[in-house]
Amino acid sequence: MSGNALAAAAGSFAGVPFRLHGRRAEHGLDCIGLLHASLVAIGKRPRLPNGYRLRALSRPDLDEVATACGLARVEDEILPGDVLLVEPGPCQLHLMICLNAQSFVHAHAGARRVLIQSGGLPWPTIRQLRLSEEGH
């Protein structure tokens, strides 16, 4: 399954309301829910964490979470479908899915919806993930 399919699936959720811990578009999505819904839309069975807060003092085992979703860590040119873990502020992590070199889709808590953001990355990147060859 290509990153282009993941990017297209993620982009299709633009405009969906934001909802913390939301996993279904009809009820609203947060950034993890956006990744979950996008992976499900392309036939994956992701296992993502629940019960987290918008701000946290500790990080989950990110490699374990990525592997459970069929994603692998990469350090490469950002491609469509890449999942970026960014840090918008202290003790705050956020997921964005790349649509193309300058556009990303993410569930924005402040805007209260899933939106497409153009013009490059607004926050520092902690990790870059890509659909792995094995998939899930």
Nearest-10 crossing angle of helices 31-41, 3-11: 120
Q: Which pTM was predicted?
A: 0.88
How far apart, in whole angstroms, are the C-alpha atoms of residue 10 and residue 116? 10
Q: Where are the alpha helices (DSSP H) in 85-128?
A: none
Mean pLDDT of 128-133: 89
For 26-41, the pLDDT digits (tens) are 999 999 899 999 999 9
Mean pLDDT of 121-133: 89
- Superfamily for 3-131? endopeptidase domain like (from Nostoc punctiforme) (3.90.1720.10)
Structure confidence at residue 118 (pLDDT): 94
- Rg (the chain; Cα; Å): 13
For 46-83, the pLDDT digits (tens) are 877 665 555 555 555 667 778 878 899 999 999 999 99
